[in-house]
């Protein structure tokens, strides 16, 4: 954009002259700044509710700080305590800003995106994992054992699919830790005493109760540990590793005697 009358050579020059002629147009710069912040938030794919919440909190804290900063200028017996409080407020605002920024963009120490966003798959998995090992078991101990580990295996497969498709979904390993806790509950529910009562098709008692009571859950524990190691700090699993664990868990189900796993 050019003109020979006003010396305007670009849009910024136009805005500068407009502000000089009509001072109220300076608020256009503030509007542009807000639009730029929104563009940055969208560009980083941060949940808008997280950004709004952080902005509101910061405005409130900044307002409080400005008020006390004004009071600190007053002379009097409370000048010293007010000055200390103002510096304390400043440090608090800085720390809060750092924590909110880290939580909003990287999910640490708090995963604000999960807190404000609704993820039905995460919620469903979290509920299912929490219920593992808490339901009433079948009176037949082998059926109860098979049902428990069948549910654990299938839930873990769903978890594998979920983190493979959503790398940032479980960066804090809350769901993975829940699976590990559930495995401990199932290990207690299906101990060697119950495993000793298992019978084969001929009606013979289980000759090696430790296989179902110890070896089967221990083998599954190695899967969970491996998944955690493969996820690392960044979270997520590659398609290759996801298929590896899926194949291993299906074979584990066969070894455990769960014939209905793929049904």
With CA atoms as reference, report the closest residue to 263 among 170, 118, 146, 163: 146
Q: What is the pTM (predicted TM-score) of this model?
A: 0.58
Q: What is the pLDDT of residue 114?
A: 60
Q: What is the pLDDT of residue 160?
A: 93
Mean local confidence (pLDDT), 133-148: 83
Q: How far apart are CA 197 and CA 194, in angstroms?
A: 5
Q: How far are the Cα atoms of 146, 156, 165, 198, 203 from residue 139, in angstroms, in the given order?
A: 12, 25, 38, 12, 18
Strand partners, 199: 205
* 185 Cβ contact list (under 8 Å, min separation 6): 132, 133, 134
Mean local confidence (pLDDT), 185-199: 90
Q: What is the pLDDT of residue 156?
A: 94
Q: What is the pLDDT of residue 78?
A: 62
Q: How far apart are CA 198 and CA 143, in angstroms?
A: 9
Q: What is the pLDDT of residue 4?
A: 46
Q: What is the pLDDT of residue 60?
A: 66
For residue 100, give both structure tokens.
């909110």
Share of the chain above pLDDT 70, in %: 70
DSSP state of 249: H
Mean local confidence (pLDDT), 52-57: 67
Instruction: Give the residue with greater pLDDT, 245 vs 95.
Output: 245
Q: How far apart are CA 127 and CA 117, in angstroms?
A: 17
Q: Is 85 in contact with 110 (CB distance < 8 Å)?
A: no
């Amino acid at each position: 954009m050019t003109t020979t009358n006003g010396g305007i050579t670009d849009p910024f020059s136009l805005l500068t002259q407009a502000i000089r002629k009509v001072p109220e147009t300076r608020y256009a710069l503030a509007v542009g700044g807000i639009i730029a912040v929104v563009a940055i938030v969208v560009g980083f794919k941060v949940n808008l509710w997280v950004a709004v919440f952080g902005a509101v909190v910061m405005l409130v804290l900044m307002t409080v700080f400005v008020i006390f900063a004004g009071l600190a200028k007053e002379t009097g017996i409370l000048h010293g305590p007010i000055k200390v409080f103002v510096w304390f407020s400043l440090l608090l605002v800085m720390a809060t800003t750092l924590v909110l920024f880290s939580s909003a963009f990287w999910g640490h120490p708090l995963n604000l995106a999960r807190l404000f966003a609704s993820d039905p798959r995460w919620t469903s998995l979290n509920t299912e994992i929490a219920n593992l090992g808490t339901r009433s078991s079948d009176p037949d101990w082998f059926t109860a054992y098979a049902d428990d580990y069948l549910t654990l295996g299938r839930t873990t497969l769903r978890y594998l699919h979920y983190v493979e498709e959503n790398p940032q979904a479980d960066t804090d390993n809350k769901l993975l830790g829940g699976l590990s806790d559930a495995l401990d509950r199932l290990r207690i529910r299906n101990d060697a005493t119950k495993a000793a009562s298992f019978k084969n098709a001929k009606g013979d008692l289980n000759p090696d109760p430790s296989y179902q009571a110890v070896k089967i859950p221990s083998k599954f524990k190695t899967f969970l540990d491996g998944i955690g190691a493969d996820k690392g700090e960044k979270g997520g699993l590659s398609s290759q590793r996801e298929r590896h664990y899926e194949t291993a868990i299906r074979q584990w189900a066969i070894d455990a005697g769960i014939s209905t796993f793929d049904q």
